[in-house]
């Protein structure tokens, strides 16, 4: 299993492959917007000490746990 690079730049393509990763709230939010196996485009990442949030061009103003992507 390969996880996405938490320092992925804008325009990087990622695949939503791990819907069960992250906290329950992250899983619920992802279920509203993302489809397993679909490719999405990184807008930006927000790297913190314990977690990285990823923003996608296809879903403005919503962040997801980077652990959900390859």
| 3 found inside a domain | no
Is position 5 within any domain?
Answer: no
Q: Which segment of 1-5, 20-24, 46-50 scores lowest on mean pLDDT? A: 1-5
DSSP 8: P
Is 64 inside a domain boundary?
yes
Alpha carbons 57 and 41: distance in angstroms, whole number: 6
**Domain hosting residue 37, numbered range:** 13-68
The count of domains in the chain is 1
Domain contains 53: yes
* Domain presence at residue 60: yes
Which token pair is 59? 């879903």
Question: pLDDT per residue over 32-67, tens digit each?
Answer: 999 999 999 999 999 999 899 999 999 999 999 999
Confidence at residue 16, expressed as pLDDT on a 0 to 100 scale: 98
pLDDT category of residue 1 using cuts at 50, 70 and 90: low
pTM equals 0.93
In-domain check, residue 8: no
**Assigned domain for 62 exists:** yes
Residue 45 included in any domain: yes
């Amino acid at each position: 299993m390969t996880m996405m690079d938490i320092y992925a730049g804008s325009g990087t393509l990622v695949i939503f492959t791990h819907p069960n990763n992250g906290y329950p709230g992250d899983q619920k939010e992802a279920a509203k917007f993302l489809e397993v196996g679909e490719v999405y485009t990184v807008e930006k990442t927000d790297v913190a000490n314990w977690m990285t949030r990823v923003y996608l061009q296809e879903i403005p103003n919503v962040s997801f746990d980077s652990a959900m992507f390859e």
